[in-house]
Amino acid sequence: MAGFDTTPALPYNAACDERSRSLVAVSVVTVKFNVGQLLKSAVGTSQQYDLNEDIVGVDQDLQIVEPLVGKIRLLRTSDGILVTGRLHTGVRLPCRRCLRPFTLPVDFDLEENFYPSVDKSTGGAIPIGDAEDAATRTDGHRILDLTEVVRQNLLLALPMSPLCSPLCRGLCPGCGADLNTEPCTCQSEEGDPRLAVLRQLL
């Protein structure tokens, strides 16, 4: 593998192949970038990347069925790196009404500031403040890991009550039939027999 600082801002997962223009899927879900050179660059310097990443397993409670695709931009700021982008994937979820699983397309935006964990002048570790999230710090090798930020933003983008279709008819509360695919088998109520004479007059 090439040294971390030999190729400016090369996506970490693709470091073995400089010809690759997208991140390479790996067995452990990671979306990482080498930002060593970018951190040494002037404020305002930016790098853009196309993502096509297998993120199956990024969250044990989510069934990811499509790769993470989109574009992101890494911008050098005065105190770190601002990551912005628009991403898309697909998640398998049960419909709230009919309970049948379906694939939900999920689009979400990223906008997150990342900060270095090592002081570039002294080489010493920069302590994490009480209000800071460790997920938004680059590591000691100047690797920026988007994995946790992607996971959090994906979860926030999911609807509270997913529907397979706005027209989903759901399940019959009586017999449990899926009203999208089969008729209800409930028997009509006979009503109070004492009112039978009145019903005949209607």
What does the domain layout of the chain look like in residue ranges?
A: 12-168, 169-202
Tell me, what DSSP letter sits at residue 172?
-
CA separation for the pair 63, 149 (Å, rounded): 18
For the stretch 160-196, pLDDT in tens is 999 999 999 999 998 899 999 998 888 655 555 665 6
Q: Is the dihedral of CA 100, 101, 102, 106 positive or negative?
A: positive
Q: Please write the tens of the pLDDT for every residue from 8-28.
A: 444 444 443 443 333 333 335
Give the other-Cβ count within 10 Å of 195's Cβ: 9
Model pLDDT for residues 116-127, shown as the tens digit of each residue: 877 665 555 666
The Cα–Cα gap between 42 and 27 comes to: 35
Q: What does the alpha-carbon distance between residue 91 and residue 79 come to, in Å, rounded to a whole number?
A: 35
Indicate the pTM of the whole model: 0.72
DSSP SS3 for 25: coil
| 123 beta partners | none
pLDDT in the model for residue 10: 43
Other C-beta atoms closer than 10 Å to the C-beta of 156 total: 8
For 127-138, the pLDDT digits (tens) are 666 556 778 888
* Res. 30: pLDDT tops 80: no
Token pair belonging to 194: 């004492």
